[in-house]
Amino acid sequence: MIKQRDENNLRDNYDVLIIGGGILGCSIAYFLSIMTNSSIMLMEKEKNVGLHTSSRNTGKVHAPFYYDPEKKPSTAAYTIRGYEMIKRYCAFHSLPFKEDGVVEVATDDREIDVLIKHVEWARRNGLNNEEIKFLSKNEMLEIEPNVKCESGLVCFRDASTDYGLINQKLKEDAVKFGCNTSFKNKFREICSNTNTGAKRRMTIIGTAKNITSDYVINAAGGNSLDIAHSVDLAKEFTDLHFRGEYLTAPPKYSNLTKRSIYSVPRYTDYPFLDPHWIRRADGRCEIGPNAVPVFSPYSYNLADNLKNVVPKIFKSSKLGVVKLFLNKEFIRLVSNELSSSLSKTNMINRVKRFLPSLNSSDFKQRGMSGIRSLLIDKNGNFAAESLLVENESSLHILNYNSPGATGALPFAANIVRQLVQKNIVNPTSRRVVDSPFTDEYM
């Protein structure tokens, strides 16, 4: 049966409601539309999809050399599969996908061991000898003469793209395959079970229009924990938000390196890398991101940040956050990040360690910042990977952070596969021909 499409002209009832039109929500909408016969509604609080983290990031299709296979096995697996799927999707729709590779550098002897460990992690995570290589100081000079380092690793299986464009195209495809959308409609609460025959029919209260659905998937990015809390899930976690800021390099630096350059992370217990030298898919070069603590997932500027001081402090008086802020190493990290937000020179100096020819007075323009929302447990530890929590009628995707954009397609296909296995949605026998993904991806 062909499903009805009625953008912003809502029917009453849907089998599945997805909250959030970032790359994750749109990937789920895409696979639900082609793999199942459900009626689907994608609800987004903004006037379009992908206006937040999914288009405010570094744009890298990451390779898994930073991820410890013991601690982050699924993150690593999703990046491997994600690379392949994004490459296919971009080729299918003529979207940017530049296989430009990336380098990680050791700036002193002590960091060389970390590089060796990262090459080993990469191999255990599925990269082969042709895709990642350890390079001596001289070998590094041959491939990147302007980079100062003691040694490096080069990963050829790493690419640059524009996730904002992918996000938009996924939404367009999902709509073409039957998904409904509701914009400027902010999910507020699940109201009640207004049982009209279906097992789990419930009313979803939005700010623009109320919707009835059997099942809810929460892919609301920085708001997803609050939504999970509203149905009494994941109460043991709280979240903190960190703004990643970028500085745009002037065109004179366009040919400084052939690849993006990353450094060995200084604080390995925390999910932050130091600012990198970034070559974007469109040729622009940037420095960033840092990780400045802010009070909301949308604190892109001072006014928005100040508006959220009181509610966030109230919510964050939890034991885990208190413990984290008593940790000296975390405080050192935070002060470092704050100083690189206040001073352009401090930010540039962090990259100048390995690109000494940069001159901070050349950097006049800020890039677009993006915000990570990280989950913290009761002991003050950051959650290592993304987390799925559920009850009978809803599934919540929490802590969906970097390299979340890389892994969004396989992650979403896997969620839909699990919903089919649990009989929450029914598979379709209809074949979608207008997709690059054959059965092996679904």
Ligand X SMILES: Cc1cc2nc3c(=O)[nH]c(=O)nc-3n(C[C@H](O)[C@H](O)[C@H](O)COP(=O)(O)OP(=O)(O)OC[C@H]3O[C@@H](n4cnc5c(N)ncnc54)[C@H](O)[C@@H]3O)c2cc1C
* CB-nearer residue toward ligand X: 293 or 427: 293
Q: Which of 228, 369, 224, 229 lies closest to 287, judged by CA? A: 369
Q: Which two tokens stand for residue 129?
A: 């000898």
Q: What's the angle, vertex CA 130, arms to CA 124 and CA 135, rounded to 5?
A: 90
Q: Which of 338, 326, 342, 329 is nearest to 293 (CA)?
A: 338
Cis previous bond, 427, omega within 30: no
Q: Which is closer to ligand X, CB of 201 or CB of 372?
A: 372
> CB of residue 269 vs ligand X: minimum separation in angstroms?
19
- Report if residue 75 touches ligand X, rule: CB under 6 A: no
The yes or no reply on residue 221 touching ligand X (CB under 6 A) is: yes
Q: Which is nearer to ligand X, 151 or 169 (CB)?
A: 169
**Residue 21 binding ligand X, by CB under 6 A:** yes
By the rule CB under 6 A, 180 interacts with ligand X: no
Site membership for ligand X, residue 58 (CB under 6 A): yes
The alpha carbons of the chain give a radius of gyration, in whole angstroms, of: 22
DSSP 428: P
Which CB, 71 or 199, lies closer to ligand X?
71
Question: What are the DSSP calls for 158-226, one per residue?
Answer: -EEE-HHHHHHHHHHHHHHTT-EEE-S--EEEE-----SSSSS-EEEEESS--EEEEEEEE--GGGHHH
Of the residues 31, 38, 52, 375, which one makes contact with ligand X according to CB under 6 A = 52
Residues numbered 76-135 forming contacts with ligand X, rule: CB under 6 A = none
Pick between residue 34 and residue 405 the one whose CB is nearest to ligand X: 405
Q: CB-wise, 33 or 402, nearer to ligand X?
A: 402
Residue 257 near ligand X by CB under 6 A: no
Binding region for ligand X (CB under 6 A) out of 118-126, 134-142, 266-274, 401-409: 401-409
In 196-343 the beta strands, taken as DSSP E runs, fall at 202-206, 211-218, 238-244, 247-248, 260-263, 276-279, 285-288, 292-294
Q: Is 244 in the site for ligand X (CB under 6 A)?
A: yes
Distance separating alpha carbons of residues 10 and 183, to the nearest angstrom: 11
CA dist., res. 229 & res. 317, Å (int) = 16
| Residue 370 touching ligand X (CB under 6 A) | yes
Does residue number 271 form part of the binding site for ligand X (CB under 6 A)? no
Q: Which lies closer to ligand X via its Cβ, residue 402 or residue 428? A: 402
Which of 360, 357, 403, 353 lies closest to 105 in space, CA to CA?
A: 353
Is-contact 66 120, C-beta < 8 A?
no
Query: What is the rounded CA–CA span in Å between residue 146 and residue 255?
Result: 10
**Residue 403 interacts with ligand X (CB under 6 A)?**
yes
Nearest distance, CB of residue 371 and ligand X, angstroms? 6
Q: Output phi, psi for 423, to 5 deg.
A: 60, 25
Query: By C-beta, is 63 or 135 nearer to ligand X?
Result: 63
DSSP character string of 72-104 = -HHHHHHHHHHHHHHHHHHHHHT--EE---EEE
What minimum distance in Å lies between the beta carbon of 139 and ligand X?
26
Select from 14, 30, 31, 62 the one that contacts ligand X (CB under 6 A): 62
Stretches 15-23, 68-76, 172-180, 269-277: which one binds ligand X (CB under 6 A)?
15-23
Name residue 16's beta-bridge partners: 40, 215
- Residue 412 is a binding residue for ligand X (CB under 6 A): no
User: Strand, coil or helix: what is 286?
Assistant: strand
From 180, 248, 305, 402, residue interacting with ligand X (rule: CB under 6 A) = 402
> Quick one: 178 or 221, whose CB is closer to ligand X?
221
Nearest-5° Cα angle at 22, 21 to 23: 120
Q: What is the distance between the alpha carbons of residues 380 and 324, in angstroms, rounded to a whole number?
A: 5
In the shown chain, the binding pattern of residues 139 to 178 toward ligand X, with x for contact by CB under 6 A and - for none, equals: ----------------------------------------
Q: Whole-number minimum distance, CB 142 to ligand X, in Å?
A: 27
Contact segment (CB under 6 A) with ligand X among 68-76, 345-353, 375-383, 398-406 equals 398-406
If binding is defined by CB under 6 A, does position 371 make contact with ligand X?
yes
In the chain, count H helices and then E strands. Answer: 12, 22
Please tell me whether residue 289 binds ligand X under the rule CB under 6 A. Answer: yes
Residue 45 near ligand X by CB under 6 A:
yes
Interacting residues toward ligand X by CB under 6 A: 19-25, 43-46, 51-54, 57-60, 62, 186-187, 219-223, 244, 289, 370-372, 400-406
